[in-house]
Structure 1
Amino acid sequence: MKNIFGKFSMIVLSFLFISGSLFITHTNLFQKNVNNNQYVFSKFSHKGQLDISQRNNKTGNIKNSFSLPSNTQTSSNWSGYISKPTSNAIYTSISGNWTIPNVSSNNNYAVAAQWIGLGGVSSSDLLQMGTMEEIKDGQTTVEVFWEKLPDASQNIMSVPIGSTISAKIYKSSNSNSEWTLTFTATYPNGTAQTKTINTTLNSSYENEIGKSAEWISEDPSNGYSKLLPLANMGTVKYQGTTVNGNLLNSSTNTVELIALVSNGNILIYPSEIGSDGESFTTTSIDPNSDLNSNANSDFRHQFREFPMTNSMHNRIRSRF
């Protein structure tokens, strides 16, 4: 009996030692991912159409009140515009411009992202390029990224706040499978840099991403598909929004307005398309401020922070 107990003790100690070693290794890998600023940029998460009759009603599904365009749809992670072709044609190009906002937050850690892309609505195939603003311990950094889901996203370069981004994604005319993602970042001092990325897509992927085009402000997620604390980005103006060379409000497109809603609060909402047919804004609601002059503290949305854990690195994609 003593020998059996001794052997059992050795087995338990061995198991604990191995488990501890795995935990340490796992933790080190996770920490590396956190330091590399890795996040999940996801496909569209649709909730339904916003009930306009309830948006000004404290007891309704939407708690805050302000002017919203009619037929606004809701999402848990996106806000902006989605366009779909009115015919059987597929999209092969998209463009858009925006100025990187000076984000803020009462959280020590918060993020926001702006991007253009093709796909991600009817399937998880999504080709996108954009910027992510991250606040960490009071310091803000901005990265330009590109991503071809389900592949990991990749950071291209860091840019200063206030830079203007002009981005375009299009299929190359010289190849049946090559696509180009290009952007020009014009800094506040007038200096400009242009970067170009080439990638190869198969016909099935091209067909899926050709079903929709997007100009989006997003709240990224962590590895457990939990939304991260959203930074207050104020108002971001998108301009030059074209798809297949046509204006966003062209008759060749069916457009959908998307508001980001969480726990009954509208966190980011879009404007109507401007008279030029190619511009609109997305505006975020500061979660720590009253939402309108009639609102009280009941209307405030306190973000729940989802801290990273040791296993998230298995699902976290690099970039924005």
Structure 2
Amino acid sequence: MGISVRLPRHIGRSRAVRATATVLLLTGALAPVGAGTASAHGFGPHSSRIKDSNWGGYVAQGSFSRITGSWVEPHATCNTSNDLFAPWVGLDGYGSQTVEQTGVQTDCSSGSPVLSAWYEMYPAAPVYWNDPVSEGDHFTASVISQGNGVYTLTLTDDTKGWTESTQQSLDGQNASAEAVIESPTQSYPSFDRLDFSGVTVDGRPLDAAAPQSLTSGGYSPGVLQSGSFAMTPGGGQLHLPHNARPPKIRY
């Protein structure tokens, strides 16, 4: 009987690394990843592309120990089986090679949107929770550095009433804090709007940390106000601080 295996697709990995992972998995040397049944697609550090980014949203740089934020999971339409994305909040990953993050993934590999809750201590693969997740659910997530490389990651489905929390260890730098959407496959499904709200960093609204805005896959962040903003299709490709003025265009 044949077995079909979907490998984690980490951003920035070379073809040689992916090929090696394939050999290890087929020989049984690479163990399955995740507590749930979702495919293990890796989310990871920020990487810039021409006129675009793998992250879309707001990212602050500095020294941070805590981020909290909420969002409403949008209705998504799959365009291809390669579509994959997640809203998440986390620490690190912008100028560092670790990311401590938690969010909700929409995976179109089956042809229809499949939603899964997860956390990831990158470069380790994501771990999935088995709790039910639906479009329209309101989520609240937090990542807290407890010191000495210990992190507490918590995700709550405020609509369905469940909470998952885990404590993990990683040699992170706590050098950035972010509330973003990301597509490891660089292929987003279609959605009209995703609202982030109540995003705070070290107890203050994200606005106070002078974050940078990023556009990803054609989705752009709106104005950030009191820790709230919307991701919508379209918009410019400029990567500017949220309070910066765009350049004047001369005709």
Q: 271, 274, 279: which one pairs with 2:228?
A: 279
Alpha-carbon distance between aligned partners in 2 of 1:198 and 1:258, rounded to the nearest angstrom:
29
Asked if residue 237 in structure 1 is aligned to residue 239 in structure 2, the reply is no
Q: 256, 260, 267: which one pairs with 2:212?
A: 256
- Name the structure 2 match of 1:217: 181
Asked if residue 127 in structure 1 is aligned to residue 76 in structure 2, the reply is no
Matched residue of 1:107: which SS? coil
> 1:69-88 maps to which residues of 2 (within 5 A)?
74-85=51-62
Asked if residue 142 in structure 1 is aligned to residue 115 in structure 2, the reply is yes
Asked if residue 156 in structure 1 is aligned to residue 129 in structure 2, the reply is yes
- Map Cα deviations across residues 81-140 of structure 1 (whole Å, 9 max, x no partner): 00123xxxx200000000111110232442221100111011111100111012244432
- Are the counterparts in 1 of residues 78 and 112 from structure 2 also a CA contact under 8 Å? no
The residue identity in structure 2 corresponding to 1:236 is: L
- Name the structure 2 match of 1:318: none
- Are the counterparts in 2 of residues 110 and 136 from structure 1 also a CA contact under 8 Å? yes
Shift of 1:217: 0.8
- Name the structure 2 match of 1:67: none
Q: 110, 121, 130: which one pairs with 2:83?
A: 110
For normalisation by structure 1, the TM-score amounts to: 0.59
Q: 205, 212, 230: which one pairs with 1:247?
A: 205
Asked if residue 182 in structure 1 is aligned to residue 140 in structure 2, the reply is no
Alpha-carbon distance between aligned partners in 2 of 1:102 and 1:134, rounded to the nearest angstrom:
13
Shift of 1:186: 2.4
Asked if residue 39 in structure 1 is aligned to residue 41 in structure 2, the reply is yes
Larger Rg: 1
Matched residue of 1:249: which SS? helix
Work out the percentage of aligned pairs sharing the same amino acid: 24
The residue identity in structure 1 corresponding to 2:184 is: P
- Are the counterparts in 1 of residues 67 and 91 from structure 2 also a CA contact under 8 Å? yes
After superposition, the Cα gap between the structure-2 partners of 1:91 and 1:116, relative to the gap in structure 1 and judged at 3 Å, is same
Shift of 1:147: 0.6
- Are the counterparts in 2 of residues 117 and 127 from structure 1 also a CA contact under 8 Å? yes
- Are the counterparts in 1 of residues 142 and 155 from structure 2 also a CA contact under 8 Å? yes
Matched residue of 2:216: which SS? strand
For normalisation by structure 2, the TM-score amounts to: 0.74
Alpha-carbon distance between aligned partners in 2 of 1:142 and 1:170, rounded to the nearest angstrom:
24
- Are the counterparts in 2 of residues 45 and 75 from structure 1 also a CA contact under 8 Å? no
- Name the structure 2 match of 1:317: none
Q: Which runs of 5+ in 1 are unaligned?
A: 1-21, 49-73, 222-226, 262-266, 286-320
Matched residue of 2:114: which SS? strand
Shift of 1:168: 0.8
Runs of 4+ in 1 over 4 A off after TM superposition: 27-30
Matched residue of 1:112: which SS? strand
- Name the structure 2 match of 1:6: none
Matched residue of 1:80: which SS? strand
> 1:162-177 maps to which residues of 2 (within 5 A)?
162-172=136-146, 176-177=148-149
Q: What value does the CA root-mean-square deviation take over the aligned residues?
A: 2.6
- Map Cα deviations across residues 274-309 of structure 1 (whole Å, 9 max, x no partner): 2xx210011135xxxxxxxxxxxxxxxxxxxxxxxx
The residue identity in structure 2 corresponding to 1:212 is: S
- Are the counterparts in 1 of residues 85 and 184 from structure 2 also a CA contact under 8 Å? yes
- Map Cα deviations across residues 213-272 of structure 1 (whole Å, 9 max, x no partner): 011111113xxxxx3x3211221010011001111111xx121000125xxxxx111111
Matched residue of 1:122: which SS? coil
The residue identity in structure 2 corresponding to 1:121 is: Y
Matched residue of 2:136: which SS? coil
Alpha-carbon distance between aligned partners in 1 of 2:149 and 2:42, rounded to the nearest angstrom:
26
Alpha-carbon distance between aligned partners in 2 of 1:109 and 1:91, rounded to the nearest angstrom:
34
The residue identity in structure 1 corresponding to 2:145 is: K
Q: Which runs of 5+ in 2 are unaligned?
A: 1-21, 235-251
